[in-house]
Structure 1
Amino acid sequence: MNIKALDDAAVGRFWADALGWGVSSEGPGVTNVEPGDGFVWPELVARLKALGATPADVGQGDAPWTVLADPEGNEFCVLEPREIHRDTGPIARVVVDCADPRAMAGFWGEATDWTLHEVTGEHAVLRSAEGVGPYLEFRRSSDAKTVPDRVHIDLLPYPGDDKAAEVARLKTLGATDLDLGQGDVPWTCLSDPEGHEFCVLGSH
């Protein structure tokens, strides 16, 4: 998951502290946040506010979760403990607003080789076939996408797979080329069928 930030070091430090993860950097303007030693649930909302998070209203009403924003205004939800998220780690779900959850689940399921867990006209949920890590959820929204996403997904081909071949495969599924002025970089920028940006990384 990639977050655009005005101050990558500050936002990276917030998320590292929020998740109990570590930070590293691969160069100026890039701060990586990676799993570290632990994550403590009790009094999480108060701890996040102390780190710089602020309450956010996205029309959630009387929901059983708390909506906050990080120091640059990126909204996120703090869920109460749920059995379904027992082994996800601190990031339970990555949620994407979209017009057609069923179609998005079809594209992203093929793109990631993840398993479809639930699909309705209002939302669809995918997860790694290995049953580890966060869920990827697509929720129906009537709001049209008008600006680039501040948060996007980076895909990493399987070890030994050719990146160019993977990009070609994604295009057959409905992805399109995307020029963000990225220049000569080791990743390829694409858009999914609803225009959400994502990157295909070079193999490590």
Structure 2
Amino acid sequence: MALRPVQVNIKAVDDALVGRFWAQALGWGVSSEAPGVTNVEPGGGFVWPDASAVCIDVVTVAHAKTATKNRVHIDLAATSPAHQAETVARLKKLGATPADVGQGEVPWTVLADPEGNEFCVLEPREVYRDTGPIAAVVVDCADPRAMARFWGGATDWTVHEVADDRAALRSSQGVGPYLEFLRSADGKTVEDRVHLDLLPYAGDDKEAEVTRLKTLGATDIDLGQGDVPWTCLTDPEGHDFCVLGRG
């Protein structure tokens, strides 16, 4: 029994606008599984779910993002300094804006999408040479070691690095982006605007997986979701995430 991260869920007032931005940013396609939902995933024969990519689902909500920095964000990969600069310029033309999250003088560029969700365009790093356009999904946390224990147990992803300030996981197939946990003093103050969705494998029982997650330290959360085929939980530090049904 195991789960795999399959998509980043982004809440937006205008799901189509934000979805188009991310599709153009990543060079991916868009579709819609239901009104108020924009799905962003690779083209070229990609069939969801596949470990080679963590997709993006943009879901409509009534309220706009507050000034609070998201605790989950996406890092984009660059292959060279020129590629990084070209990517930043292109994203600004698509509607991205510079963002100040207290990063100071750093080699990466912090931007925000059209509804203010922060993300980074990284300088070239060898570790991300084969991840695809998304280098990592990054989670701010108080204790990266504890997060590595929980998420390493919750998913079938391999723990690659664990330290006091940082932990990193990646699909056991050695493809796609990393899932990284960075130490931060910023705790949860509002409902998470961005979260991860996990999916059971075919033949595995979702409810059994949810029970297993609770033994690892997950807890139920009511986001007003009502009667839906997925289950909303939080990890031991209060990060929202969902376990999807197989559909």
Query: Which category describes the TM-score, using the shorter chain as reference length?
Result: over 0.9
- Match in the other structure for 1:106: 149
Please report how far the alpha carbon of residue 203 of structure 1 lies from its aligned counterpart in structure 2 after TM superposition.
1.1
The structure 1 segments of at least 4 consecutive aligned residues displaced by more than 6 Å after TM superposition are none
> Matched residues in 2 for 1:94 and 1:113: separation?
16
Report matched runs for 1:45-124 at 5 Å.
45-124=88-167
How far did 1:80 drift?
Answer: 2.0
Residue identity matched to 1:140: R
Asked if 1:176 is matched to 2:198, the reply is no
1:17 matched to 2:24: yes
Aligned pairs (5 A) from 1:86-165: 86-165=129-208
Cα distance in structure 1, aligned partners of 2:138 and 2:42: 20
Alignment of 1:8 with 2:15, yes or no, is: yes
Paired residue secondary structure (2:174): coil
Query: Is 1:31 the counterpart of 2:74 in the alignment?
Result: no
Work out the percentage of aligned pairs sharing the same amino acid.
80
With structure 1 as the length reference, what TM-score do the two structures score? 0.96
Structure 1 regions of 5+ residues with no counterpart? Answer: none
* Superposition TM-score, scaled by structure 2 size: 0.80
Residue in structure 2 matched with residue 166 of structure 1 by the alignment: 209
SS in 2 for 1:2: strand
3-state SS of paired residue (1:57)? coil
Q: Distance in 1 between matches of 2:42 and 2:155?
A: 21
Whether the aligned pair in 1 keeps the contact of 2:141 and 2:184 (CA below 8 Å) is yes
Report the Cα offset of residue 36 of structure 1.
2.3
Q: Secondary structure at the match of 1:84?
A: helix
The 2-side partners of 1:11 and 1:183 are apart by: 25
The one-letter code of the counterpart of 1:31 is T
**Letter aligned with residue 193 of structure 1:** P
- How far apart are the structure 1 equivalents of 2:186 and 2:122? 24
SS in 2 for 1:183: coil
- Mapping of residues 184-199 of structure 1, within 5 Å: 184-199=227-242
Q: Which amino acid aligns with 1:63?
A: V
Q: What is the one-letter code of the residue matched to 2:142? A: A
Query: Displacement, 1:61?
Result: 1.3
1:40 offset after TM fit, Å? 9.0
Rounded to whole Å, the distance in 1 between the matches of 2:227 and 2:188 is: 27
Please tell me whether the aligned partners of residues 160 and 169 of structure 2 are also in contact (alpha carbons under 8 angstroms). Answer: yes
Find the aligned partners of 1:116 and 1:159 in 2 and give their Cα distance.
Answer: 23
Following the alignment from structure 1 to structure 2, what is the Cα–Cα distance between the partners of residues 31 and 168?
30
Q: Which runs of 5+ in 2 are unaligned?
A: 1-7, 45-76
Distance verdict in 2 for CA 1:158–1:64, change over 3 Å: same
Deviation at 1:82, TM superposition (A): 2.0
- For the aligned residues, what is the CA RMSD? 1.4
Q: Deviations over 1:75-126 (max 9, x none)?
A: 0000122221111110101111111110011000111121111111111111
Determine the C-alpha separation between the residues in 2 that align with 1:201 and 1:149: 17
State the shift of 1:146 in Å. 1.0
Shift in Å at residue 60 of structure 1? 1.2
